[in-house]
Amino acid sequence: MKYTKKIWLDLRFLKKDNYYSQFIYELIWNFIKMNPEYLFNIYLDLSFANLNLWENTKNIFPKAKYKSFREQTHLWNNIKKDKNDIVIFFSHNKPLNFKEKYIIFIPELSNFHFPKKQNIFTKIFQDILFKNNSKNAEKIICFNKKTSEEINDKLNISENKIKILTPFFNKQELTINEEIKNLTLNLETKYNIKWNYFIYNSWVWTEKNIDKLIEVFSLLKQNKKDINLIILDEETIKDLSFRKQVIENNLTDKIFFIWNIWEYEKEYFYKNSLWIILPDLYNVFPFSLNKALNYWINILASNINTLKKIFWNKIEFFNPNNFLDIYEKIINTKKQNNKYSTIFEKYNKEKSLEDLKNIIK
């Protein structure tokens, strides 16, 4: 078959158990399927060597490590050799000397608002990458009007170059898992969880504000309120500083880190939780809430504008800067049935794919 266009997709950033990665993978998988007239060169990390998409794809595994200095030369030579019509990067990370047509995704600007702790040379290099690669992009894709305005303001980039792709929540057809149906061992007993619990599953960066949960659950313990918190995402579980905080505040009987569990066990925890809690100070699109929405779990989240615009009255909100407000909301919440069909209708896959198709055209 003769392809009308050759598109290079930089998927080397993909990580397992990463919500943004899962969103991009689902978006691209469907986009490739609906465009059989295009040939897609897909650059991947070796850990995704078994990934097979469609016939109109070619997997390439560059030797240079993602975000390394070596990729600045090695990757550029590969891109030049492949002679793509357009290259799409899903972050600002790309070789500085690549000057052909390319599109970059800038999903959020958390590093402007909450700079990450890093080596000074790494910080300078990343700042150069971000500013230069944004400035020279054919188009920049972001996820909402606010981010578009910030990119325009902070980087002095024309609004005409900035396009908005509305993300989606992935609607899943949930079936009763036979493993859960036949589960004879109570998982709360297995993991020594004594009380009703909230779930946190949204990473550990500064803007995630999870230190506030330490204050809240310290007060809950002090006042003898019988509520637990379960940490389910791998990134937070692996964060030694947060785990140290939990130990130092004597909260090991209140906050539980649960990892290396079967999917049906995770499903059990979601279905039997009181609420999902999201104390973010900054969040452009809450991909981490996808499971909660599918399981109709109640959500307790920060009353920041981006979240309020997405959920309106469908979830409960608190002031993320006031741990007493979070405390009051936690002790006064009651489990209730909540369906999110209107959220799925508004933030759907078809709309995202149409946005991407129009941007590439």
Determine the angle formed by the axes of helices 19-33 and 349-360, rounding to 10 degrees: 70
The backbone torsions φ and ψ at residue 26, rounded to the nearest 5 degrees and listed phi first, read: -65, -40
pLDDT digits (tens, 9 = 90+) for 14-46: 887 789 999 999 999 999 999 999 999 888 887
Domain range 178-345, its CATH number among 2.60.40.10, 3.40.50.2000, 3.40.50.1360, 3.40.50.2300: 3.40.50.2000
pLDDT digits (tens, 9 = 90+) for 269-293: 888 899 999 999 999 999 999 999 9
pTM score above 0.85: yes
DSSP string, 168-193: ----------HHHHT--S-HHHHTT-
**If pLDDT is split at 50, 70 and 90, which confidence band does 184 have?**
very low
227 forms beta bridges with: 196
**If pLDDT is split at 50, 70 and 90, which confidence band does 119 have?**
confident
- Cα separation of the two ends of the chain: 21
Question: Are the folds of 5-165 and 178-345 the same?
Answer: yes
Say if residue 313's pLDDT is above 50: yes
CATH node for 5-165: 3.40.50.2000
Average pLDDT over residues 299-313: 95
Q: Distance between CA atoms of 112 and 89, rounded to whole angstroms? A: 20
pLDDT digits (tens, 9 = 90+) for 210-239: 999 999 999 999 999 999 999 998 888 888
Q: Map out the domains of the chain as residue ranges.
A: 5-165, 178-345
Say if residue 1's pLDDT is above 70: no
Three-class DSSP category at 48? helix
Q: Which range, of 132-146, 174-188, 191-205, averages the lowest pLDDT?
A: 174-188
* pLDDT of the residue at 360: 87
